């Protein structure tokens, strides 16, 4: 795998295999071509903003509509004649694959309608396009503004694959005991793609996940983790209540610690919200008995006692959430959330100095997530 950093006009990267078809001599390769591929539904409020910000980036734009009832398709046709319909089957991957099947350029840029490429970033992208070594197979960009709408991410800015070489070449490497290079050549850039939705996506995501469980009876390990994370970050009481049967099954069938702890975290929060004290303590006590308990569970124990005005007991569990445990799904469970609650506890107890200290710690945690 080639991991590189594109920084303005500078490139720092590990060397490619000597057997790679493409070398790094200046001027040896021409500017790449790009297909923008999007899937959309009822995006009339943001689609033009997104497409305007991508002006000049691509040779073609593919827009796949999955059932819009507003002016989305009319807006799309102002920008491209490659607008396709795809019957929605509760499967984003199927829709993405269909959009990729329509692309014809060397690279595919995956855009969502609620993204914006600000002008300085658009210029960086154009510079990347002029200089990209065509042996690179995946380009990662910084996805920003993640925390505003309760996404499944724990940081406001994270690298995400955005540009993909459409056709992959398999290359033999090593002079002896030769093998085909299987890992992709990846370029990390500092190009920032701003996520600017007009509403949260959690309701949509939970609806898709619920139907997937009804249809297939289960979720992959990856999607189970994403489901648990989104619940812990942005789930409402009714979302947790619907999730209880699924995660009870995961609790019973988990064969490794990660899915076990994910199920415990979700079930402890769900049980507290719906008032099931027996389930709450059943899962919480099993978790804190583990060698590495979860911060989320300790925070929920703090919330349980805080809601009953048992401030001293609540303090104990908030402290454990920060200093004695590790987060499984949500970094705020070992950071800003318990720090803020500890400040409230000390305010109630009249400990102004400690309250001020924890308010400062809460602010520090929030700044470190940027």
In a shared domain, residues 187 and 212: no
User: Considering its fold, how many domains does the chain have in total?
Assistant: 2
In a shared domain, residues 166 and 215: no
In a shared domain, residues 170 and 223: no
In a shared domain, residues 270 and 173: no
Q: Which residues contact 166 (CB under 8 A, 6 or more apart)?
A: 35, 100, 103, 104, 105, 106, 107, 108
pTM: 0.74
For residue 154, the model assigns a pLDDT of 56
- Residue 112's nearest CA partner among 4, 182, 40, 184 is 40
In a shared domain, residues 57 and 172: yes
Nearest-angstrom CA–CA distance, 296 and 294: 5
In a shared domain, residues 169 and 246: no
Contact 209, 246 (CB under 8 A): no
What CATH number should be reported for the domain holding residue 329? 1.25.40.10
Nearest-angstrom CA–CA distance, 309 and 13: 56
In a shared domain, residues 232 and 177: no
For residue 203, the model assigns a pLDDT of 84
Helices 202-216, 237-253: inter-axial angle, 10-degree rounding: 40
**190-204 CB burial, b ≥16 within 10 A, e <16:** ebbbbbbbeeebbee
In a shared domain, residues 175 and 243: no
Nearest-angstrom CA–CA distance, 193 and 148: 15
Q: What is the dihedral of CA 129, 132, 136, 138, to 10 degrees?
A: -30
Boundary (domain end) residue, out of 161, 195, 229 = 195
Boundary (domain end) residue, out of 169, 195, 221 = 195
What CATH number should be reported for the domain holding residue 135? 3.90.550
Taking residue 91's Cβ as centre, other Cβ atoms within 10 Å add up to 14
Supply the range of the domain harboring residue 318: 202-368
| pLDDT tens track, the chain, 370 positions | 445 554 443 333 433 433 333 334 444 568 999 999 999 999 999 999 999 999 999 999 999 999 999 999 999 999 999 999 999 998 999 999 999 999 999 999 999 999 999 999 999 999 999 999 999 999 999 998 755 655 555 567 889 999 999 998 888 888 888 899 899 999 999 999 999 887 767 888 899 999 999 999 999 999 999 999 999 988 999 999 999 999 999 999 999 999 999 999 999 999 999 999 999 999 999 999 999 999 999 999 999 999 999 999 999 999 999 999 999 999 999 999 999 999 999 999 999 999 999 999 999 998 876 5
Boundary (domain end) residue, out of 179, 195, 211 = 195
In a shared domain, residues 23 and 128: yes
In a shared domain, residues 231 and 163: no
For residue 153, the model assigns a pLDDT of 57
In a shared domain, residues 325 and 208: yes
In a shared domain, residues 245 and 105: no
For residue 45, the model assigns a pLDDT of 96
């Amino acid at each position: 795998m080639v991991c590189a950093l594109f920084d303005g006009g500078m490139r720092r990267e590990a060397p490619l295999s000597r057997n790679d078809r493409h070398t790094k001599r200046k001027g040896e390769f021409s500017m790449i071509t790009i297909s923008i591929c999007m899937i959309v539904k009822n995006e009339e409020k943001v689609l033009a903003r997104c497409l305007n910000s991508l002006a000049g980036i691509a040779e073609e734009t593919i827009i796949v509509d999955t059932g819009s009832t507003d002016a989305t398709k009319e807006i799309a046709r102002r920008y491209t004649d490659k607008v396709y319909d795809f019957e929605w089957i509760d499967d984003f991957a199927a829709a993405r694959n269909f959009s990729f099947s329509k692309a014809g350029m060397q690279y595919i840029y995956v855009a969502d309608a609620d993204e914006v490429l600000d002008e300085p970033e658009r210029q960086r992208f154009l510079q990347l396009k002029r200089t990209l070594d065509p042996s690179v197979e995946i380009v990662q960009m910084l996805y920003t503004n993640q925390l505003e709408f309760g996404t499944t991410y724990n940081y406001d800015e994270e690298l995400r694959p955005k540009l993909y070489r459409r056709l992959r070449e398999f290359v033999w490497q090593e002079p002896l005991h030769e093998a085909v290079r299987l890992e992709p050549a990846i370029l990390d850039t500092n190009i920032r793609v701003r996520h600017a939705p007009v509403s949260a996506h959690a309701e949509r995501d939970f609806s898709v996940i619920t139907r997937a469980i009804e249809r297939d009876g289960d979720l992959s390990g990856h999607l189970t983790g994403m489901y648990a994370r989104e619940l812990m970050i942005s789930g409402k009481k009714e979302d947790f209540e619907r999730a209880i049967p699924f995660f009870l099954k995961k609790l019973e069938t988990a064969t490794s610690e990660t899915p076990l702890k994910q199920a415990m975290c979700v079930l402890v929060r769900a049980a507290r919200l719906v008032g099931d004290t027996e389930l709450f303590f059943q899962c919480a006590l099993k978790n804190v008995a583990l060698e590495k308990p979860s911060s989320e569970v300790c925070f929920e124990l703090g919330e349980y006692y805080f809601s009953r005005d048992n401030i001293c007991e609540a303090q104990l569990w908030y402290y454990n959430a920060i200093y004695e445990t590790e987060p499984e799904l949500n970094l705020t469970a070992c950071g800003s959330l318990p720090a803020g609650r500890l400040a409230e506890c000390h305010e109630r107890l009249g400990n102004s100095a400690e309250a001020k200290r924890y308010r400062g710690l809460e602010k520090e945690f929030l700044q470190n997530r940027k």
